[in-house]
């Protein structure tokens, strides 16, 4: 067993874990934050996407020990004081989800995308979310949702 300390959504957690525990299992099973989904488990689908030290990564392809000392943000950490993050709001306003399974990962990718490129073209958004699969194939509205967030975050609306 190894002791790790991870800051998740602004709160510090110290836990004893097995080194082979995956980060997504740490987030879901140890911390009880079940907003992050598990899809393919093989770093293909992106359902488990989180931000680690500000960068979007697939938490099924990280060991929890690798997050020791890191800042992790999950879907639960995006809203502040009851206000949805602009990307969350975009998914709400533009119907960016159907079954909702890919949504937490898709939103985390959208947040990372807009951080690096605040005013993306439609093409850049489509390439930016290439690591996230939507089984309902609702990409059209997902793109619109991210466009909505980009405008909102730049002071539009």
Partner 1 sequence: MIPGEFDYYSPTTLDEALSLLQEHGDDAKILAGGQSLIPAMRYRLAVPEVLIDINNLTELEYVREDNGHLTIGAMTRESDLEESTLVKEKYHLLADTAEVIADPLVRNMATVGGNLAHSDPANDHPATMLAYNAKIIALGPAGTRVIPIDDFFTGLFENALEENEILTQIRLPRPGPNSGGAYIKVERKVGDYAISAIAVQLTMDGDTCTAARIGLTNLSPTPMRAKNAEQALIGQVITPDVLEAAGQAAAAECNPSADLRGSVDYKRDLTRVLTKRALTKAIERAKGA
**58 binds partner 1, rule: CB under 8 A:** yes
User: Toward partner 1, which CB reaches closer, 19 or 118?
Assistant: 19
User: Toward partner 1, which CB reaches closer, 113 or 142?
Assistant: 113
Supply the minimum distance, in Å, between the C-beta of residue 128 and partner 1: 6
User: Toward partner 1, which CB reaches closer, 25 or 94?
Assistant: 25
**14 binds partner 1, rule: CB under 8 A:** no
Q: Which of 3, 5, 10, 19 binds partner 1 (CB under 8 A)?
A: 19
Residues 6+ apart with CB under 8 A from 45: 39, 102, 105, 132, 133
**61 binds partner 1, rule: CB under 8 A:** yes
Supply the minimum distance, in Å, between the C-beta of residue 62 and partner 1: 7
- The owner of tokens 């699969």 is 133
Supply the minimum distance, in Å, between the C-beta of residue 115 and partner 1: 12
103, containing H or E segment: helix 103-116
User: Toward partner 1, which CB reaches closer, 92 or 118?
Assistant: 118
Give the N- to C-terminal CA distance of the chain in Å, as an integer: 51
Supply the minimum distance, in Å, between the C-beta of residue 152 and partner 1: 22
Euclidean distance between CA atoms 5 and 22, whole angstroms? 15
């Amino acid at each position: 067993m190894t002791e790790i300390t991870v800051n998740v959504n602004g709160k510090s957690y110290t836990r004893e874990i097995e080194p082979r525990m995956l980060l997504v299992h740490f987030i879901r099973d140890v911390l009880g934050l079940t907003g992050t989904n598990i899809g393919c488990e093989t770093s293909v689908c992106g359902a488990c996407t989180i931000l680690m030290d500000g960068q979007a990564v697939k938490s099924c392809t990280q060991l929890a020990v690798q997050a020791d000392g890191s800042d992790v943000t999950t879907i639960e950490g995006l809203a502040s004081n009851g206000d949805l993050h602009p990307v969350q709001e975009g998914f709400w306003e533009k119907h960016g989800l159907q079954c909702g399974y890919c949504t937490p990962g898709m939103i985390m990718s959208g947040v990372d995308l807009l951080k690096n490129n605040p005013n993306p073209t439609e093409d850049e958004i489509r390439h930016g979310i290439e690591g996230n699969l939507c089984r309902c194939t609702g990409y059209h509205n997902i793109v619109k949702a991210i466009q909505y967030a980009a405008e909102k975050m730049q002071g539009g609306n």
